């Protein structure tokens, strides 16, 4: 499997051989769905909490006498029938949303998602991205150059994150340069997962030889 490599100006600068295990895997919708929903569930904080009638303030005195007023009888303003009263069967912070997902499943789902995205022509390999300091102007110029590549025209005009830029290693300058651009998210390639691959329309891999080595290494980790 071969794929073209582009430079930061959007011009083709060579090609690269892609491993079948990473970019040639079959699409496994059930596995990808299980892993993606599991990982998103693990991100839930589980902090939603409602107070029951025994936890809200007040209610020590009966609102009015039982009989003779012509109104419905009430024992406490803590009742769920009252505004500001307790909530019946509300959410509790003690709920645990965690789901166990083993590493082999995560890796297989990532490879399946990457392979499908590659077949759809939504992965772009860049030889390198050089920025002279942490400046949004330079990052915007890079995005404009990459949007000239066929299939990636919507990258420049996007009003929400549509591209995940996977860099070989963490860089403060890259983060600062791209953080004001609404269309791009930048993170190290070692943090790439099935959720990121499925969330963003485009995947831009910088320094593909090094990045692919890191992706292949995910299979060997136990």
What are the domain boundaries of the chain? Answer: 2-43+97-220, 45-96
44 closest CA partner among 106, 87, 99: 99
DSSP secondary structure of 155-202: HHH-SS--EEEEESS--HHHHHHHTT-TTEEEEEGGG--HHHHHHSSE
Which residues in the chain show pLDDT less than 70?
Answer: 220-222
> How far is CA 8 from each of CA 15, 46, 128, 148, rounded to the nearest angstrom?
15, 42, 7, 11
Block residue for tokens 């070692």: 190
109 three-state secondary structure: helix
Block residue for tokens 């500001």: 84
pLDDT at position 175, please? 82
**Strand pairing class (184-188; 12-17):** unpaired
Block residue for tokens 């609102």: 63
Q: Using N-to-C axis directions, what is the helix angle for 103-119 and 208-220, rounded to 10°?
A: 140
- CATH class, range 2-43+97-220: alpha beta
pLDDT at position 45, please? 86
pLDDT at position 59, please? 82
**pLDDT digits 0-9 by tens, 30-89:** 999 999 999 999 998 889 999 999 999 988 899 999 999 999 999 999 999 999 999 999
Is this model's pTM higher than 0.85 or not?
no
18 three-state secondary structure: coil
List alpha helices for 2-125, DSSP H. 20-23, 29-42, 103-119
Residues in the chain: 222
Count CB-CB contacts under 10 A for residue 73. 11
- State the Cα–Cα distance between residues 40 and 32, nearest whole angstrom: 12
pLDDT at position 221, please? 62
């Amino acid at each position: 499997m071969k794929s073209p490599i582009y430079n930061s100006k959007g011009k083709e600068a060579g090609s690269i051989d892609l491993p079948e295990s990473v970019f040639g895997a079959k699409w496994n919708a059930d596995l990808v769905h299980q892993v993606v929903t599991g990982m998103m569930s693990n991100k839930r904080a589980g902090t939603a909490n409602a107070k029951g009638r025994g936890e809200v303030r007040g209610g020590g005195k009966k609102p009015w006498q039982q009989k003779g007023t012509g109104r419905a009888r009430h024992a406490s303003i803590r009742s769920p029938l009252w505004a500001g009263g307790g909530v019946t069967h509300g959410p509790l912070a003690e709920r645990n949303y965690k789901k166990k997902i083993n590493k082999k499943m995560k890796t297989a789902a990532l490879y399946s998602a990457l392979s499908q995205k590659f077949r759809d022509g939504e992965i772009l390999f860049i030889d390198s991205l050089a920025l002279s300091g942490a400046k949004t102007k330079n990052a915007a110029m890079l995005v404009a150059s990459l949007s000239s590549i066929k299939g990636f025209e919507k990258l420049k005009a996007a009003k929400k994150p549509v591209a995940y830029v996977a860099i070989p290693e963490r860089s403060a300058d890259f983060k600062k340069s791209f953080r004001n651009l609404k269309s791009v998210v930048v993170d190290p390639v070692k943090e790439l997962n099935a959720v990121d691959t499925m969330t963003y329309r485009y995947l831009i891999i910088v320094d593909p030889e090094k990045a692919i080595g890191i992706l292949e290494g995910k299979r060997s980790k136990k």
